[in-house]
């Protein structure tokens, strides 16, 4: 459903009376379910409220199981605990400073051996965030030096 530019929606009754639906997300979802079952049918309801048919039936199932609470938006963001805690980040930084030429894979392996479940990608992200990438030296070739001297 588009949240930026919601057009006003009305539920039309049997006698032609129109009832405005508020912009509250849960109310709009309930109105869509109501209209899909009782008045205009599923196809028109999902077109009117700009949902997909799959999402309509998902909302219907949630409503049957939990009532109005099932229509509320779920928690946003990560559902599990972070892998890169402060302790893990500190260990990555420590290992990088102790052995600056060690590869990311070696650092990951050392952390896994120490009991931390972490992926190579997570170690790479930490190293990138803290600016601990290996510096590459720019070596000038001998030919350039000769040209500059002439």
Where do the domains of the chain lie? 9-71, 86-129
Whether this prediction's pTM lies above 0.75 is answered by no
- Give pLDDT, residue 4: 45
Instruction: Give per-residue burial for 25-41: e unless 16+ CB within 10 Å, then b.
Output: eeebbbbbbebbeeebe
Conformation bin of residue 22: beta by default, left when phi > 0, alpha when psi is -120 to 50:
beta
What is the per-residue pLDDT for 113?
A: 93
Closest CA to 88 of 110, 68, 103, 57: 110
How high does pLDDT run on average in the chain? 77
Smallest Cα–Cα separation from 83: which of 125, 53, 51? 125
Query: 138 pLDDT exceeds 50?
Result: yes
* CA distances for 36 relative to 30, 49, 59, angstroms: 10, 10, 12
The band of 15, judged by pLDDT with boundaries at 50, 70 and 90, is: low
Q: What is the pLDDT of residues 29-71, one digit of tens each?
A: 877 777 777 778 888 878 777 778 888 888 888 888 887 777 7
């Amino acid at each position: 459903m588009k949240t930026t530019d919601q057009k006003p929606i009305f539920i039309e009754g049997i006698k032609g009376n129109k009832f405005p639906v508020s912009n509250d997300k849960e109310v709009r979802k309930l109105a869509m379910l109501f209209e899909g079952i009782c008045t205009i049918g599923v196809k028109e309801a999902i077109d009117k409220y700009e949902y997909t048919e799959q999402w309509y039936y998902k909302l219907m199932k949630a409503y049957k199981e939990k009532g109005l609470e099932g229509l509320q938006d779920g928690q946003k963001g990560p559902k599990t605990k972070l892998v890169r805690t402060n302790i893990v980040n500190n260990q990555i930084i420590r290992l990088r400073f102790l052995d600056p030429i060690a590869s990311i894979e070696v650092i990951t392996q050392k952390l896994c051996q120490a009991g931390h479940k972490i992926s190579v990608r997570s170690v790479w992200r930490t190293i990138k965030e803290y600016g601990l990438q290996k510096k590459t030296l720019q070596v000038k070739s001998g030919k350039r030096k000769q040209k500059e001297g002439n």
